[in-house]
Amino acid sequence: MNNQYPAIHLNYVQESLSSYIAQIEYGIEEEGLFSICTLVPTSSLQESTYASAQASKVGIALGISQKQIFLMHRKAGPDTFILHKAPPSLTDAEGRTLGKNAARLVKGLPLYPV
Amino acid sequence: MIKYVAGIDIGNATTETALGKIEDGKLLCCTSGITKTTGIKGTKENLYGMVNSLKEACRKMELPMPSLNLIRINEATPVIGDFAMETITQTVITESAMIGHNPDTPGGIGLGIGFTVFLEDIFESDKEKDYIVIISDQYDFPEAAEEINHAEEFGYSIKGLIVQNDDGVLICNRLKETIPIVDEVALINKIPVGYLCTVEVAPPGASIDFLTNPYGIATAFSLSSEETKHVIHIAKALIGNRSAVVIKTPSGSIQERIIPAGEIIITGKKQQYRVNVDDGSDKIMEQVKRAGTIQDIHGSSGTNVGGMLESVRKKMAQITESPEASIFIQDLMAVDTLVPQNVVGALANEFYMEKSVGIAAMVKTQKLHMQHLASLLEESTGCPAEIGGIEGDMAVLGTLTTPGSGKPILVVDIGAGSTDACYLDSTGRKTTIHLAGAGNMVTELIQAELGLSSREEAEAIKKYPLAKAESLFHLKHEDGSVEFFKTPINSGFFAKVLSIQPDGFLPIHTQHSLEKIRSVRREIKKKVLVKNVLRALTQVSSSGTLHEFEHVVLVGGSSLDFELPNMLTDVLAYYGITSGKGNIRGCMGPRNAVATGLLYAYLEEEKNHE
């Protein structure tokens, strides 16, 4: 895993829908930040996402599965989701906004309403 | 014999009760009640609020309401204030020629000049010209970037992009050459096609400097010196932006139009004084001062200010059920302000700060129907009710229960609708005056000047200090102190300016910085409240100087303000005047002055009786 530059880590599981991941990445890119995608086992999504958040230079990681998308913050501890969304009801635009909001948490700008 | 006596004060915003247990002319204990005033002060709708306020006080004393011996209500000063705002300038762009909005993330960097064309039409255009391409939301960004790259390979010269979606950075990252891209342009179909256009995007952290310079715009479009004069308004409106677009259209002309806002006619004791609203608040206030004791104020008919003053008169006539001709406007307060107004004819909902004047008017009639209200109260509670005294006198009597106060005293009651002052000199002589402009005017001005969509937010800004959530775990307060949390705050509060309320935070939905909101808030309070207290002092002083006063005590809802008492102390200390919030009965703070006054007046009457 490349930890040399400031990036938001995206941890996804095998079954997650690739279009959501792409939209989240685009959202992060539009805000001028970088992202790193990693495939992780379904059973340890939450643990590995928190580990990624701790490893990330910006302290933020997203966990993406078929059922849920959540954002974890290095400082918030292993049990706290800062943002939480359920993909079945998520449109492309909402996915993009989620990515933007993840980046805006890093930039210190107010979040867009989802 | 033990007696229970209650004093009830009906204010513009709240109804307050002071309930006393009296034995042989001595006050044994006292409780209070406070509720929102129901209906407009002085109308029979007040009854509900009065009963509720009374119930609260009775509950605290553990007294069943029917055992009350006497209820006293005040002879309310029939004063109503109203407020209106007049814009006196307006920026109009005919044949729209600019996009001056500020997207968070424009793409690319630099300056591009070319002719506007939609992406779908680029391949049918002349290869000799330079182009600025307009991309609608029909195109997703990979597609748009590919088309642009494609067109450039074909030999088209593309100098900049105007994009409808928030895709500026995404497109830019996929282009072979870096060009300026302005995104989030909502009304893309209104952009004139085929005209010369300039797109500028500044590097991160900087703001544009070519299009904010009238000579820059003149260079881009080869304007004559006469034409350059007209673009000054565009340049002015774009200052501070990170990105902008200016398009030259043949009949494009921009004008700052002065709207005739009307004339105010003040009838003084001896003569009439006239002043134009356009002249600004200083001129208006000068005429108000010159007029001295005002008989009545009118606005020239058919103008906005005329309509506003007449509506105040009409409202008052309805409440008091008296003819409009018997209602007189007796004070007026004008304040200059800057209000964001949409630029007429702009393409991306741009606004520009336009000059305007806020006007509060105060109306006084012969008498409110308080006697009627007293008998209604008597009916519904089954206890005898009477009119206890005049509001101003009662306020002074109540305020004198503040520890450390003494005669001569000036009591300033800053309410929601009007500022009332009552001066009691050392010989016992009283002077009462009523001035327009109080808490509501401050709220309205804050809302207008910051362009807030909700009045609730404006009210919160007025009442409570601000803070900014700088991370998920800490807040920075407006005084610079920092507060930390163990658990992350609601992500909806992140990086927003928050109003610190007793029961939590209220996010303020605005782009303005905390410092800007704070300075607007303080400036408005100075312009309205501090100025009104100084006006009150000058009007009641017999010599015209402020040095004759010793104590100024603030009472009423607006004096609960967290910074006003300090702002006043600052100003008044210069004249050697002690000023501060009242503390009625040593425990009520600045509330309950009139209600307490009613109760104490009863005690005095009892004493004299004996």
**DSSP state string for B314-380:** HHHHHHHT--GGG-EEEEEEEEEEEEEEEPBT-SS--EEEEEEEEEEEEEE-S---HHHHHHHHHHH
Longest dimension (CA), chain A: 35
> Is the Cβ of A80 closer than 8 Å to some Cβ of chain B?
yes
> Is the Cβ of A91 closer than 8 Å to some Cβ of chain B?
no
Helices and strands (H, E) in chain B, number of each type: 15, 30
Rg of chain A over all Cα atoms, to the nearest angstrom:
12
> Is the Cβ of A76 closer than 8 Å to some Cβ of chain B?
yes
For residue B353 the two structure tokens come to 């700060």
Across the interface, whether the CB atoms of A108 and B166 are under 8 A apart is answered no
Low pLDDT (below 70) residues in chain B: 76-82, 88-97, 250-261, 344-349, 365-368, 610
Domain B1-76+371-401+592-610, CATH class in plain words: alpha beta
Across the interface, whether the CB atoms of A83 and B491 are under 8 A apart is answered yes
Across the interface, whether the CB atoms of B470 and A108 are under 8 A apart is answered yes
Q: Are strands B89-94 and B243-247 parallel, antiparallel or unpaired?
A: unpaired
Q: Which amino acid is at B420?
A: D
Across the interface, whether the CB atoms of B491 and A110 are under 8 A apart is answered no
Q: Which residues pair with A10 in a beta bridge?
A: A37, A62
Query: For domain B98-250, which CATH number applies: 3.30.930.10, 3.40.50.720, 3.50.30.70, 1.20.1280.50?
Result: 3.50.30.70
Across the interface, whether the CB atoms of B105 and A31 are under 8 A apart is answered yes
Instruction: Report ipTM for this prediction.
Output: 0.85
Residue of A28, A13, A50 whose CA lies nearest to A104: A28
- Minimal C-alpha gap between A96 and chain B (Å): 10
Across the interface, whether the CB atoms of B495 and A111 are under 8 A apart is answered yes
B105 → chain A, closest CA residue = A31
Among A73, A82, A109, beta carbon nearest to B495:
A109
**If you count residue pairs, one on A and one on B, with CB atoms under 8 Å apart, how many are there?**
49
Across the interface, whether the CB atoms of A108 and B141 are under 8 A apart is answered no
Dist CA B386 CA B393 (whole Å): 16
B23 neighbors B3 (Cβ within 8 angstroms): yes
Dist CA A82 CA B490 (whole Å): 8
Among B141, B169, B492, beta carbon nearest to A111:
B492
- What pLDDT is recorded for position B132? 94
Q: What is the CATH number of domain B446-511?
A: 2.40.50.140
For residue A8 the two structure tokens come to 């938001």
Among B105, B166, B488, beta carbon nearest to A80:
B488
Residue of B360, B439, B383 whose CA lies nearest to B11: B439
CA A30-A35-A39 angle, to 5 degrees, is 135
B393 neighbors B430 (Cβ within 8 angstroms): yes
- For residue B266, give every residue at least 6 positions away whose Cβ sits within 8 Å of its Cβ, in sequence order, or none: B272, B273, B274, B275, B287, B288, B291, B294, B297, B332
Q: Which of B201, B494, B513, B514 should one mutate to test binding to chain A, selecting the residue with the greatest count of A CBs within 10 A?
A: B494
Tell me, which fold does domain B82-90+259-364 have in CATH?
Ribosomal Protein L22; Chain A (3.90.470)
HSE value, Cβ hemisphere, 13 Å, CA-based, for B179: 27
Q: Give residue-wise pLDDT tens across range A26-78.
A: 999 999 899 999 999 888 889 999 999 999 989 999 998 888 889 999 888 88
Q: Give the 3-state secondary structure of residue B162.
A: strand
The CATH architecture one would assign to domain A7-107 is 3-Layer(aba) Sandwich (3.40)
- What pLDDT is recorded for position B528? 92
- What pLDDT is recorded for position B171? 94
- Minimal C-alpha gap between B480 and chain A (Å): 18
Rg of chain B over all Cα atoms, to the nearest angstrom:
31
- Minimal C-alpha gap between A41 and chain B (Å): 28
- What pLDDT is recorded for position B53? 92
Burial tier of B608 (Cβ tally within 10 Å: 0-12, 13-18, 19+): exposed
Dist CA B179 CA B427 (whole Å): 80
Dist CA B251 CA B190 (whole Å): 15
- What pLDDT is recorded for position B350? 72
Dist CA B569 CA B552 (whole Å): 9
- Minimal C-alpha gap between A5 and chain B (Å): 18
- Minimal C-alpha gap between B194 and chain A (Å): 29
Which residue ranges does chain B devote to CATH 3.50.30.70? 98-250
- What pLDDT is recorded for position B445? 92
Dist CA B163 CA B185 (whole Å): 6
For residue B255 the two structure tokens come to 């004008």
- Minimal C-alpha gap between B134 and chain A (Å): 19
Cβ-based neighbour number of residue B150 at 10 Å: 12
> Is the Cβ of A108 closer than 8 Å to some Cβ of chain B?
yes
Residue of B262, B307, B269 whose CA lies nearest to B284: B262
DSSP B494-540: TTSEEEEETTEEEE---SS-HHHHHHHHHHHHIIIIIHHHHHHHHHH
Across the interface, whether the CB atoms of B169 and A76 are under 8 A apart is answered no
Give phi and psi for B48, each to the nearest 5.
Answer: -60, -45
Dist CA B461 CA B476 (whole Å): 16
- For residue B216, give every residue at least 6 positions away whose Cβ sits within 8 Å of its Cβ, in sequence order, or none: B209, B210, B235
- What pLDDT is recorded for position B95? 45
Residue ranges with strand state E in B465-503: 466-469, 474-477, 482-484, 497-501
> Is the Cβ of A86 closer than 8 Å to some Cβ of chain B?
no
Q: Which of A23, A30, A84, A105 should one mutate to test binding to chain B, selecting the residue with the greatest count of B CBs within 10 A?
A: A30
B384 neighbors B115 (Cβ within 8 angstroms): no
- For residue B88, give every residue at least 6 positions away whose Cβ sits within 8 Å of its Cβ, in sequence order, or none: B258, B259, B261, B277, B278, B280, B354, B355, B356, B357
